[in-house]
Structure 1
Amino acid sequence: MSDDPFGDLDAAMGDSGPSTSDSEAESTQELTAETDELPETGQEVSERSPLEDPAFEFDETVHKALYVLEAVAAEFDDIITYDVERELTRDHGLRNIKKSELHNAALAVVAEHPDLIVDRVLDQRGIDDE
């Protein structure tokens, strides 16, 4: 008997391993390469549509914990969902908007304005820096 108590779980559930073969994985990698051609067929891959496709894939992201007050988190979520996402959809015709894309944009805007972060921290502490 194996030391792994879950060692035979895959077999019992009918899972014989990874769902893609090595050749399928290679084909997928070839498809995502910069050649813009389907492997073996020479057909071009359809272009990415900026209105339909996110700016980047989810697997390119990292998960980071942010520690915020509950009220600020709720306000942020509301603004992202009800203001930003709605405007992107209604006024700009974007589809398939991912939260990771919205969060990335929000943090990029914040990163461009460190002076506003300094001002807010001083304000939160009740320090008048003027």
Structure 2
Amino acid sequence: MSDPFGDLDAAMGGDSGADADAQSEPEPEPSDEPAEDPEPEAVASPREQPAFEFDETLHKALYVLEDVADEFDDVITYDVERELTREHGLKNIKKSELHNAALAVVSEHSDLIVEKVLEQRGLDDE
């Protein structure tokens, strides 16, 4: 049986068959010189790169009042990010990094959350 695609390789300027490919490329000769190590990857400075990649994050919905969300965004952008940039020399600050830090701080202070919920309900006298 003839190969229906036999002339396709010739028409495209290629060789037909793997044997022709193997014969056309000579194998490299072994060298007495030691192989060069690839250059080590530059270690990113923690002042220039976020603590983690965005791909590592999880999108979660938080339900907040608009005024609280606006105040949070202002504090994160104008206070926290500005201090990290100006006073600590950080670059490439990502919102995901700031949000993660904010939630970590909140997680460490559950007593303040309890106080705020009681306050919001008008029960701050307890």
Give yes or no for TM over 0.5.
Answer: yes
CA distance in 1, matches of 2:92, 2:53: 12
**Corresponding residue for 2:94?**
98
**Corresponding residue for 1:128?**
124
Sequence identity percentage: 76
**Corresponding residue for 1:81?**
77
> Is the partner of 1:102 in helix, strand or coil?
helix
**Corresponding residue for 1:11?**
none
CA distance in 1, matches of 2:62, 2:124: 26
**Corresponding residue for 2:58?**
62
TM-score (normalizing by structure 1):
0.67
Ranked by relative contact order (alpha carbons within 8 Å, sequence separation 6 or more), the top structure is 2
Is the contact between residue 52 and residue 97 of structure 2 (CA under 8 Å) also seen in structure 1? Answer: yes
Q: Which one has the largest radius of gyration? A: 2
**1:20-31 matched pairs, under 5 angstroms:** none
Is the contact between residue 49 and residue 92 of structure 2 (CA under 8 Å) also seen in structure 1? Answer: yes
**1:2-81 matched pairs, under 5 angstroms:** 41-81=37-77
**Corresponding residue for 1:119?**
115
Aligned-pair distance for 1:42? 3.2
Which amino acid letter does the alignment assign opposite residue 91 of structure 1? Answer: E
RMSD: 1.4
Structure 1 portions without partners, runs of 5+: 1-39
Structure 2 portions without partners, runs of 5+: 1-35
Q: CA deviation digits over 1:78-130, x for unaligned, max 9?
A: 00000000000000000000000000000000000001001100110011353
Which amino acid letter does the alignment assign opposite residue 119 of structure 1? Answer: E
Aligned residues: 91
Aligned-pair distance for 1:48? 1.9
Q: CA deviation digits over 1:32-60, x for unaligned, max 9?
A: xxxxxxxx953211112101000000000
Which amino acid letter does the alignment assign opposite residue 78 of structure 2? Answer: Y
CA distance in 1, matches of 2:50, 2:37: 27
